[in-house]
Each structure stands twice: as structure tokens, then as C-alpha cells.
Amino acid sequence: MKENNKKIALSGIQPTGTPHIGNYFGAMKQFVEMQDEFNLHVFVAEYHAMTTVQDKKTLKENIHNLILDYLAIGLDPEKVTLYRQSDIPELTELTWMFNCLVTVPWLERAHAFKDKSERGIEATVGLFNYPVLMAADILLPNSQIVPVGKDQIQHVEMAREIARKFNNTYGNTFSEPEEHVVESTQTVPGTDGQKMSKSYGNTIPLFGTDAEIKKAIMGIVTDSKLPEEPKNPDECNVFALHRLITPEPELSEIKKGYEDGGLGYGDSKKMLLKNYLAFITPMRAKRKYYEDNPGIVRQILDEGRTKIQAIGREKMKEVREKVGL
Ligand code: ADP
Ligand code: TRP
């Protein structure tokens, strides 16, 4: 199914809630930047989300919203194969085959599982198995590059090991994928200075309303230095977000205001808010366009499904034959 000689890049996001700017700068933005250079596959990781979302209405809404978000941030359906994970049931078949190659102690090393069990929470088999499903996502379409945030690197390494194990057992079948992490925005801080994450309640929602965004930005935690005091921009959570959002030359002016003193945190936050709203406005318009045109969205997903199903079926035919089915 090679349409050109571009490398295949693939990534997905779980529809588990409202995307925040950490998801955007840590993962989603990279997708948009990669769509010209790669044969890019981007999907909605629905089976993964089922490890946490077990309410029909919520899951449906999250899926719908994530698809709109993908389109709003600028993924171009002409360039990208956009699809829903649940449109390729072959992934669960391949997950089973991989399950028979990996061991329990090996899977126990995975962060998602380890974090939960260290916090005394009993993980479901689904959560335990999640890196194997992720390996199937990556390996089925022969992905070479996987753009992800830093916290997902381990899972891509695991996919690589699974590919190697399968190839050693049954003969060369899968390419070994490489992760692709953007160095400058590895971890986006949340409003409390910890990693921005849904689970910490410290997020700035990417497509929040003006009021929600204002509340989050004005609530960013800072130290208590007075406006006239010199400040270290590298130690300020507000400035860390300016680096992502505020264009030059304003960014350098703000930096100077911190270093020389004279710029207070309150004013810095107001500038961040203004720049964030300017940044998000065109994306909001795009999101609204797709929201108002569900037929177009359906057509995009139909095309994605047709394309990825053909790839998946062809690969599974080869895999089934190789394992002796
Ligand atoms: P959350 O931690 O909010 O639950 P997810 O685990 O769903 O976020 O992450 C989805 C994607 O966004 C992943 O690729 C992840 O690496 C990236 N990501 C999430 N939070 C951040 C952050 N604070 N900084 C950079 N990337 C992030
Ligand atoms: N586990 C990823 C996350 O939580 C989502 C994901 C599922 C994924 N399958 C993938 C990412 C395959 C990249 C490739 O962010």
C-alpha cells in the first residue's frame, strides 16, 4: 500500500477527556508539523480509553470531540489518514498474538501499570495489557516513526522489543519503530508547576471558553516577588508558557521585564492570556466549521477507515500465515 516513499509515522491520543495545552505542545502540534514529510496516520485510541472511561455517553462525546480537535489544530485530511482505532478490530487479534510472546514480568515494568499498583490501585487486565495493544497500533501499519510525549517513550521501546521478538520467532515481519520527541517542549508545566495532566487538575484546556482559560491562566502559581523585583524567567511557570505561545519580539521584551524587574506576574499572566486567545482563535473557527458540518467529518473518517482497513487486512493475512493459522 505504499503511495510514495515517505516514511510512515503514526500516533494516537486517548479520548479520555478534554485536551489541554500540554497535549497540544507535547504531542498534537508535532502531528501537524509532520504531515508533509511523512505518511502520517493519526487515530483516536478508543480501546485504550476504555481502560479508564466506562460510560457510554462520555466515551462517545470524548471521541467526537477529539476528532474535531484533530481537524481544528490543522491536520489536513488530504495528507493524513485519520481514523478510529475501533474501526480496525484486527488490532485486537494482533494484540493477542503479541500477548503470547511477551511475559508477565516484562509487562510489569510498564509505567502505567507500575504507577497504579504503586498507588495501591488494582489494575485491570486491559491496563496491564495496554503497551501490547499500543505495539499492535504501531506495528500493524509498519510505522517507522512514532511522535509522542516523553512519558510514552517506554511504550515505543516496548513496541520495538515486541517487533524484534516476533521477527525472531516467525521471520521478518515488522519494522522496528523509533519514537520522535520534541526536545524543546518535553514537559509542559501545569498551573501548579507540576507536569500538566488531566489527572492533576492543573490544566489549561486547549479549546476552553475564554472564561475557563482566563481562570486557569490567572491561577498559575508563582512566587511572591513584587513587580519591581528582578525575576528569573526560567523559574516561572507563566514564562514557561510564554515560551510556547508568545511570539517574538514580545517574548524577549517580557524576558527583559522579568530580568530587570518592572514586570509583575499579574501583568505577565494578562499578556499570556491575550496571546493565547490570539493563538487559539483561528483553530476555534476551524473547529466550529467541522462541528457545523458533520457530513464532512463522517466522510473524512470513512476515507480513513477504508485506507487503514486495507492496510490492516493485508498485514494480518501475512501475520496469520506466518504464525501458522
Ligand atoms: P494526561 O497526562 O493529561 O492524561 P495523556 O497521558 O492522555 O495526558 O497524554 C496524551 C499525549 O500528550 C501524550 O503523548 C503525552 O506524552 C502528551 N502530554 C501529556 N501531558 C503533557 C505535558 N504536560 N507536556 C508534554 N506532553 C504531554
Ligand atoms: N498511549 C498513548 C497515550 O496515552 C496513546 C496511544 C495509543 C498511542 N496507541 C498509540 C500513541 C500508538 C502512539 C502510537 O498518549
Q: 4 pLDDT exceeds 80? A: no
Q: What percent of the chain has pLDDT over 90?
A: 90
The pLDDT tens digits of the residues spanning 6-61 come to: 999 999 999 999 999 999 998 899 999 999 999 999 999 999 999 999 999 999 99
Lowest mean pLDDT among 115-119, 181-185, 250-254, 288-292: 181-185
Q: 188 pLDDT exceeds 50? A: yes
Closest CA to 217 of 184, 244, 248, 253: 244
Q: Cis check for the bond before 249: say yes or no (omega within 30 of 0).
A: yes
Which is it for the CA torsion 2, 4, 10, 15, positive or negative? negative
Q: What is the pLDDT of residue 182?
A: 78
Q: What percent of the chain has pLDDT over 70?
A: 98
Q: 183 pLDDT exceeds 80? A: no
> Do the Cβ atoms of 136 and 9 come closer than 8 Å?
no
Cα distance between residue 300 and residue 260, in whole Å: 51
Q: Whose CA is nearest to atom 16 of ligand 1?
A: 149
Q: Which residues of 273-296 are buried (b: 16+ CB within 10 A; e: fewer)?
A: bebbeeebeebeeebeebeeeeee
Q: 150 pLDDT exceeds 90? A: no
187 lines ligand 1 (CB under 6 A): yes
3 — pLDDT class (breaks 50, 70, 90): low
77 — pLDDT class (breaks 50, 70, 90): very high
The pTM assigned to this predicted structure is 0.93
- Work out the angle at residue 303's Cα, subtended by the Cα atoms of residues 141 and 20, and round it to the nearest 5 degrees: 75
Q: 2 pLDDT exceeds 60? A: no
The pLDDT tens digits of the residues spanning 247-258 come to: 999 999 999 999
Structural domains in the chain plus CATH codes? 8-187+294-323 (3.40.50.620), 208-285 (1.10.240.10)
Helix 250-260 vs helix 265-292: crossing angle, to nearest 10: 150
Averaged pLDDT of the chain? 95
Catalytic residues: 116, 195, 198
Mean pLDDT of 180-199: 87
Quote the ligand 2 centre to 165 CA distance (angstroms): 21
Ligand closest to CA 44: 2
Cα distance between residue 131 and residue 152, in whole Å: 10
> Which atom of ligand 1 has the smallest separation from the CA of 14?
7
Cα distance between residue 16 and residue 60, in whole Å: 10
Q: What is the pLDDT of residue 1?
A: 43
Neighbours of 228 (CB within 10 A): 10
Neighbours of 243 (CB within 10 A): 16
Quote the ligand 1 centre to 228 CA distance (angstroms): 35
Quote the ligand 1 centre to 215 CA distance (angstroms): 21
| Strand pairing report for 178-180 and 145-147 | parallel
17 lines ligand 1 (CB under 6 A): no
Q: What is the pLDDT of residue 35?
A: 97
